[in-house]
Amino acid sequence: MLRLILPPNLAAAAPRDAIAVRIELELTGPVPPGLAPALAILQRLGVPARPVSLVQLKRAQLRELLQALVGERVFFRADRPAEPLAWNGLDLPGVSEHLPESPPKHGALGTSTGPAAAGNGAPGPVLDYAMPSHKKSWLPSPALIKNLGCLFKLLFGFVVLIVLGYCALVALNPKARKWATQGAKDGSGGPTPFKIMNQVLAIPAQAIGKTKDVVAASDARTGMLDGVIADEEAKKKKAGATAAAPVPPVVDPFAPPDAAAKPGVSAARAAGAASVSGDAAAANPGVSSSALLAMAEKPDDAAETGDQAPTPINTTPRDPPAPPEMKLAGGIIVSSASPAGGPVVHASFFYWVVNVNISGAFQSPPHRVMLDKRLVYEGQEVNAALGITFDHLDLANKLIVFRDKSGALVTRSY
């Protein structure tokens, strides 16, 4: 009815799970009860219903067939096909020892219980998974990355709050500015033993101090300009008041006292002539009209003799003197540098140096400066209207020296 012919090299083929088995079936007649579980296993393994089949089985599959066919003389060896292998209890000598029940390796699924085991009442092997060993990874987990990100955000926010609070304290409290800027600029002698920390603490105070210097310089410049404008307005008011004073009427000193009686002479003119004549007669009875005419002819005689006419009055506005020094933003100082007893530095010259844009100074000879985006050489004129020239560079004191047409000097630090 059923014959299972095993290979002679079963001992070598079993460890490789490549056991070639020849299956012979006799399909006529009823199926014996002892062979039904084995036939069911063969059908599950995909063995076709043919008289002769050659299949390759694994150790677990062959062991499952052995458990389903315990005591049945259906196993043969290919080198002795006429002699069935004898059973020794539940074991089949020459076959069972090559089919040990070992746990599966490399995560393979173990053998499962089959119909034969259920029919015989014997428990099948327990399913087991061989889990791979845990390998340590050097990459942080997503949860750790998220927690570290939250921690960094908290630290960053805390640092920002501290910096803003310190800047506000320095801006509002002069004592805090004095505390932060004590010591030298290189950080030595500061509030802490560390130079770098002292320099960082002094940055907000230095920025606020520079802003105050700029505001103070701007206020000083505005106050000086306001003073100049106020002087000019006062002069204009004084000149207007002088021009608005009443002028006495013009009278004819040579008119006779009875001029009012003549036709065409107004009463005011006649009264003025009479008063002038009376005053002149009372002051000096010897002055006559002929003497006054002689006095009127003297300017013509002076012109004939070559005497010069009087010098006209200069009506040009006065240029006030400049201040001795002015501080600009960034520590720049503009100073009047004319020596004692030398030419006076006027305000127009001084404030031109204050307002000019100087972006660079070249100390290699010949000395040059970048003035209003223009390269100017030593001795070159920079303002024709005021007669200002770039005189030279004072390398020792780091000063740019300007000279005007009168010889006055103004310096600007760089």
Condensed to tens digits (0 to 9), the pLDDT of residues 103-160 reads 555 544 444 444 444 445 555 555 555 556 666 667 778 888 888 899 999 999 999 9
Contact status, residue 205 vs residue 212, Cβ threshold 8 Å: no
270 φ/ψ sector (left φ>0, alpha ψ -120 to 50, else beta): alpha
pLDDT at 256 > cutoff 90: no
Average pLDDT over the chain reads 78
CA distance 288 to 45: 167
Contact status, residue 7 vs residue 19, Cβ threshold 8 Å: yes
pLDDT of residue 326: 93
Task: Name the helix (H) or strand (E) containing 141.
Answer: none
Q: What is the mean pLDDT of residues 334-353?
A: 92
pLDDT of residue 410: 96
Q: Coil, strand or helix: which one is 303?
A: helix
User: Strand order in 358-362's β-sheet?
Assistant: 358-362, 368-371, 374-377
| pLDDT tens digits along 361-392 | 998 888 999 998 899 999 999 999 999 999 99
- CA-wise closest residue to 182 among 165, 151, 205: 205
Residue type, 344: V
Tell which wins on pLDDT, 316 or 1: 1
Length of the chain: 414
pLDDT of residue 393: 94
CA distance 342 to 151: 71
- DSSP assignment string, 162-210: HHHHHHHHHHH-HHHHHHHT-S-TTSTTSSSS-HHHHHHHHHHHHHHHH
SS3 for 81-122 is EEEECCCECCECCCCHHHCCCCCCCCCCCCCCCCHHHHHHCC
Sign of torsion, CA 277 280 283 287?
Answer: negative
**Separation in Å, CA 265 to CA 131, 261, 270, 281, 314:** 143, 8, 7, 22, 41
Tell which wins on pLDDT, 257 or 18: 18
| pLDDT tens digits along 172-229 | 888 887 888 887 776 676 778 788 888 888 888 888 877 777 777 788 788 788 878 8
Q: Please report which confidence band the pLDDT of residue 288 belongs to, taking 50, 70 and 90 as the band edges.
A: low
In eight-state DSSP terms, residue 308 is P
- CA-wise closest residue to 222 among 354, 344, 108: 354
- DSSP assignment string, 313-377: PP-SPP-PBPPSEEE-GGG-EEEE-PPTTSPPPBHHHHHHHHHS-EEEEE-SSSPEEEETTEEEE
- DSSP assignment string, 239-257: HHHHHTSPPPPP--TT--G
pLDDT of residue 269: 55
What is the pTM for the complete model shown? Answer: 0.29
Burial of 215 (0-12, 13-18, 19+ CB in 10 A): exposed
